[in-house]
Amino acid sequence: MKHKNIPLNERIIFALDVGSKEEAEKWVDLLGNHINFYKVGLQLFMAGWFPAIEMITERGHKVMVDLKIFDVPETVKLALRQLKNRNITFATVHGNDPILRAAVAEKNGVKILSVTVLTSFGEEDMEEMGFSGTIEDLVYHRAKRALRLGCDGVISSGLEVPRLRDAFGDNFLIVTPGIRPGKNVEIPEDDQKRIVTAQDAIINGADYVVVGRPISRAKDPIAVVKSMQSEIQKGLAS
């Protein structure tokens, strides 16, 4: 497997899951010399809207807008149009073929990542929702569809990444959430079920890892970042 030429300080996308632009700014100032990529999800976007994104990009950092946009195709198209000319690198979308086509048609330089299955879902959740088959099969089929429709990549647990790389090659992006430290560290209020370490995610074929609470809840966030970046380097070298 050929790893992409991505700077180490961009391999970790730090999840700014905070309640205000000001709190997000404190984290960007703290981590900015070590991490160059930040995720703006629903919580921060609703609290800070586009000024929160501008705060990050004006500092020269990259942004993933993780809103998992899911709506009728025309609304999705218009929503994606709002991201134009805002220096946004990635945007996440979720849905069926018409929804993904609408997003791809309006990406305007933003790379579209299709959500496969949330990392907080386990097999029992699939059963409750009426899905037959395994999570791995569902991730595979959703990824196959998304790439066929022109998405630039997918959001996938590290557990399913090997099959995606084996089936679809290296010419697309995989961003992996559900990352936990290599050592046994308890994360308060942890709702993730399909988790891997940063090193294993990279070995399996992920290009980027999304990390939030393991860094934000740590006594020494910088130490955790450096430790995970060391894991990533080992994964790239393996």
Domain residue extents for the chain: 8-237
Q: What angle do CA 116, 121, 122 make, to 5 degrees?
A: 115
d(CA 160, CA 175): 12
d(CA 125, CA 115): 16
Q: How confident is the model at residue 193 (pLDDT cuts 50, 70, 90)?
A: low
- pLDDT value for 184: 43
Buried b (16+ CB within 10 A) or exposed e, 1-36: eeeeeeeebebbbbbbbbeebebbbebbeebbebbb
Q: What angle do CA 107, 108, 113 make, to 5 degrees?
A: 30
The string of pLDDT tens digits covering residues 35-87 is: 999 999 999 998 978 999 999 999 999 999 999 999 999 999 999 999 999 99
Give the residue, 137 or 130, on which the prediction is more confident. Answer: 137
Q: CB neighbours (10 Å) of residue 121?
A: 18
Give the residue, 193 or 210, on which the prediction is more confident. Answer: 210
The yes-or-no verdict on residue 136 having pLDDT over 90 is no
d(CA 209, CA 231): 12
The yes-or-no verdict on residue 125 having pLDDT over 80 is no
Three-state DSSP state, 166:
helix
Do the Cβ atoms of 224 and 26 come closer than 8 Å? no
Query: How far, in Å, are 16, 43, 117 from residue 193 at the CA level?
Result: 20, 21, 11
- pLDDT value for 16: 96
Range 189-193 average pLDDT: 50
Three-state DSSP state, 121:
coil
Active site amino acids:
68
Q: Which fold has domain 8-237?
A: TIM Barrel (3.20.20)
Do the Cβ atoms of 19 and 47 come closer than 8 Å? yes
The yes-or-no verdict on residue 20 having pLDDT over 70 is yes
- pLDDT value for 106: 94
| 179-182 own/partner pairs: CB under 8 Å, 24+ apart | 179/209, 179/210, 179/211, 179/214, 179/228, 180/214, 181/214, 181/224, 181/227, 181/228, 182/227, 182/231
